[in-house]
Amino acid sequence: MPNSIKSFTERRLNQAFLDELFAKELASAEYGHMIYSPSSSSTKIILKVGRVGLAIGRRGKTIKTLSEKIKKITGEKNIQIEVEALEEPEALAQVMATRLASSLERGRHFRRSAYGTIRRIMSAGALGCQITVSGKITSQRARVENFREGFVAKTGHPAEMFVDRGYAKAKIKRGILGVCVWIMQKDAVLPDAVEIIAEPTHTSREITDTDLDEEFTDLDEQENLEPEEFGDLDISLDDLSELESVESEVDSTIPNEATQPLTEELVEAEAVPEELVEAKTVPEELVEVEAVPEELVEVEAVPEELVEAEAVPEELVEAEKAAEDDKKESK
């Protein structure tokens, strides 16, 4: 056997063994797939999982145990393992099969779990999905339950290229249930796919150079028309002067009053506005002001002090009486 064929078969066998190992050891971490790239100096493995934390383990314990097992299987010493999160776990059949098996182990009803898985897969954009659950599902008698939605290719080139398959096992009290998931990828191109193209609503015509030349020639012919084609349009100056004199006579005969009719705006302007009519009436404020205020009436009355001041004091009256008595005694 040539060395190239031997190395190729060994590489494919190692890849199959590693895929089974990761699916078994990383089932709780929702293992999807791996990228295996061996070289002469080292082997690089990229793991695609749904739960990165469970795949790495505490302080990288899970990765260390996996690397030791890989060294025993392949015999290689330098192995690099990287863990990456899945972008769309709902589009991978292996991840969805693992999730369905774990939900069955927790005691959830198989129909509810299966239909919930189908809804999540179809919401991710898949063209179709099929789930098969087999084993002692509800009794001691084994049976098979199928759940379908959309279109899933079973044979031929589309089934090999565009259908992703996943398998998982669920351990329950009655025994082991087998779970199979088929997913038709959203970017699948089927050979019998038909695309309907709508007809154009309007027709377009290509404009050629001959059409443009014809249009330009028509324009040139219209511009170069001779005066004979327009008829006799010769008018003398005497005819124009006669027309102007006739127009002036017509304007003079029309009276000015007819040319300047009174408009409704002028008639309305001649009427006295209501504001001026109301202004002629004496406002009530002025009438009230003409009445003599009570303060002035009270001021005109003579104060009591002045009345008391005009009366003759009693001392002067007594002095006058004494003087008259003296005069009488002297007589």
What percentage of the chain exceeds 90 in pLDDT? 20
Are 72 and 97 contained in the same domain?
A: no
Are 96 and 172 contained in the same domain?
A: yes
- The pLDDT assigned to 307 comes to 46
Point out the domain boundary residue: 72, 87, 102: 87
Q: Model's pTM, two decimal places?
A: 0.52
More confident residue, 73 or 270: 73
- The pLDDT assigned to 60 comes to 84
Using DSSP, state whether 299 is helix, strand or coil.
helix
Over 70: is that where the pLDDT of 289 sits? no
Q: What is the mean pLDDT of residues 194-223?
A: 64
Are 20 and 73 contained in the same domain?
A: yes
- The pLDDT assigned to 146 comes to 95
CA distances from 17 to 24, 36, 121, 167 (A): 11, 12, 28, 16
Q: Which of 74-83, 94-103, 251-260 has the lowest mean pLDDT?
A: 251-260
Are 50 and 108 contained in the same domain?
A: no
Are 67 and 94 contained in the same domain?
A: no
Query: For residue 299, what are the contacts with CB-CB under 8 A and spacing of at least 6?
Result: none
127 domain-assigned: yes
CATH of the domain at 127: 3.30.1140.32
Over 80: is that where the pLDDT of 55 sits? yes
Are 73 and 155 contained in the same domain?
A: no
Are 23 and 98 contained in the same domain?
A: no
pLDDT (tens digit, 9 = 90+) per residue, 125-136? 899 999 999 999
315 domain-assigned: no
Are 28 and 106 contained in the same domain?
A: no
Residues forming beta bridges with residue 33, ordered by sequence position: 48
DSSP class per residue in 90-143: GG-HHHHHHHHHHHHHTT--HHHHHHHHHHHHHHTT-SEEEEEEEESSSSSS-E
- How many domains does the chain divide into? 2
- The pLDDT assigned to 182 comes to 95
Instruction: Round to whole Å and give the CA distance between 278 and 188.
Output: 93
Are 107 and 60 contained in the same domain?
A: no
What percentage of the chain exceeds 70 in pLDDT? 62
Point out the domain boundary residue: 87, 117, 144: 87
**Confidence grade of residue 304 (pLDDT, cut at 50, 70, 90):** low
DSSP state of 248: H
More confident residue, 168 or 313: 168
CATH of the domain at 34: 3.30.300.20
Q: What is the mean pLDDT of residues 236-256?
A: 61
**Confidence grade of residue 216 (pLDDT, cut at 50, 70, 90):** low
Point out the domain boundary residue: 184, 218, 246: 184
214 domain-assigned: no
Structural domain for 8, as ranges: 3-87
Residues forming beta bridges with residue 147, ordered by sequence position: 131
- The pLDDT assigned to 114 comes to 94
Residue 241 identity (one-letter amino acid): S
331 domain-assigned: no
**Confidence grade of residue 122 (pLDDT, cut at 50, 70, 90):** very high
Are 108 and 140 contained in the same domain?
A: yes
74 domain-assigned: yes
85-115 in b/e form (b: 16+ CB < 10 A) is ebeebbbbbbbbbbbbbbbbeeeeebeebbe
